[in-house]
Amino acid sequence: MSVSLLSELLTDEFADAIGFVLPPAAMRIVFRRSVAVRKLTQAIRHSVVTEAEIRDFVASIVKSFKFGEGLTGDLALAAIAVAIERLPVDFVDEYLDALASLRLREMSTCIRIARECIKHRANLPKKEFRQQSYLRTRPGTLQQPKQLKIHLLFVGTKPKTLRSRSARLLKTVGSSFDKPDSLRLPTRPQSIRGYI
Amino acid sequence: MPELEYFVVCRHLSTDIETDELTFGGVLEDIFPIELPMYLERAVAISCWRLTKDELESDFQTILRVTPPGANDSVDFAMNLSRGRTRHHAIQSVFNIPMEEPGTIIFEALLNGRHEASHHVEVHSALQPDESGRAEP
């Protein structure tokens, strides 16, 4: 399915659906309204079409490039630019920047469309994610929680056994820290479960 | 300088696969711990920045500063805003924030070292279990 979605961009039916060559701003809108482009966008969002497949497809088009002759897949490259324009991945920036930086008459449509897409993409929010642990920034002061391990230790044990085990545990855990005094370990077993 | 549109800290965050819309879940305001000390397992801080077109090629650094209750000093989590965009969402997840005593966890958003906004989370006293095992404040 993924291959057919991409190869559909090379068909005469797709070219007919797009129609005449228009100024880039108008042509981008025509691409956006195209059923094939919208299907491709959905497929990429749901990982039906992958980045690797797009790279391979683009590479196969570019292989046929010849100076002085219009590129056969010019419209297809432009369609991909519009299809991926809003996706929040770095590959899109790479693709659009690479196309927009070219100065080739043979593939003028996709280059102008890519420049138009970059203008619109600049207005989209860039989402950057980071995940960090507070404790890693403070080595030696506190240890990572081991909640599950300690919790299992106390499941199904009698109160008397629990007290002796918790005393032993406190002793063991306390001695394994660099600064046991600063931890102020709780004395109740259920507290240990929540803290360690 | 970039303008801060909003800054919020919550427990969960999800992104719509179709529209890229963000959904914030469980905005952190009050924490009622069963016991203290304990850890806040996860907090997600979102700061949204708006740049002018003149600032697109400038370099900006945001810092999320976290100060747990009872801590003498804070911890900074830095992130650079990438160039070429007029809007940025800096989304930072911080795990295992220690809460050793009741008080306030202060999350601050800084831009190039300058304070822009803060989000305070109140950590209440630990709930004490009664004879039946139920926790009461």
Q: Is the pLDDT of residue B19 over 50?
A: yes
DSSP bridge pairs for B23: B14
- Determine the pLDDT at residue B18: 84
- B59 min Cα distance to partner chain A (Å): 15
Inter-chain contacts counted by CB atoms under 8 A, chains A and B: 92
pLDDT tens track for A11-22: 889 888 888 878
- Determine the pLDDT at residue B95: 92
- DSSP state letters, chain A: -HHHHHHGGGSHHHHHHH-S---HHHHHHHHHH-HHHHHHHHHHHTTSS-HHHHHHHHHHHHHT--TTS--TTHHHHHHHHHHHTT--SHHHHHHHHHHHT---GGGHHHHHHHHHHHHHHTTSEEEEEEEEETGGGSTTT-PPP-HHHHHHHHTT--HHHHHHHHHHHHHHHHHHSS-HHHH---SSHHHHHHH-
Q: Which tokens in the block code for residue A44?
A: 């990429």
Q: Do A122 and B56 touch (CB under 8 A)?
A: yes
> Which residues of A lie closer than 8 Å to B, measured between beta carbons?
42, 45-46, 86, 88, 93, 122-135, 137-138, 142, 144-145, 184, 186, 188, 190-191, 194-195
The shortest CB-CB distance from A134 to any of B35, B48, B66 is to: B66
- Determine the pLDDT at residue A138: 54
Task: State the pTM of this model.
Answer: 0.69
- B93 min Cα distance to partner chain A (Å): 5
Give the pLDDT band (50/70/90) at residue A186: very low
Q: Is the ipTM of this complex over 0.90?
A: no
Which residues of A fall within a CB distance of 8 Å from B100? 184
- Determine the pLDDT at residue B130: 63
Q: Name which of A42, A115, A126 to mutate to probe chain B: the one with the most chain B Cβ atoms within 10 A of its Cβ.
A: A126
Average pLDDT of chain B to the nearest whole number: 88
- Determine the pLDDT at residue A20: 81
- B9 min Cα distance to partner chain A (Å): 14
Q: Name which of A117, A123, A130, A150 to mutate to probe chain B: the one with the most chain B Cβ atoms within 10 A of its Cβ.
A: A130
More confident residue, B87 or A137: B87
Average pLDDT of chain A to the nearest whole number: 76
Stretch B89-99: mean pLDDT: 92
More confident residue, B75 or A154: B75
- Determine the pLDDT at residue A179: 38
Q: Is the pLDDT of residue B101 over 50?
A: yes
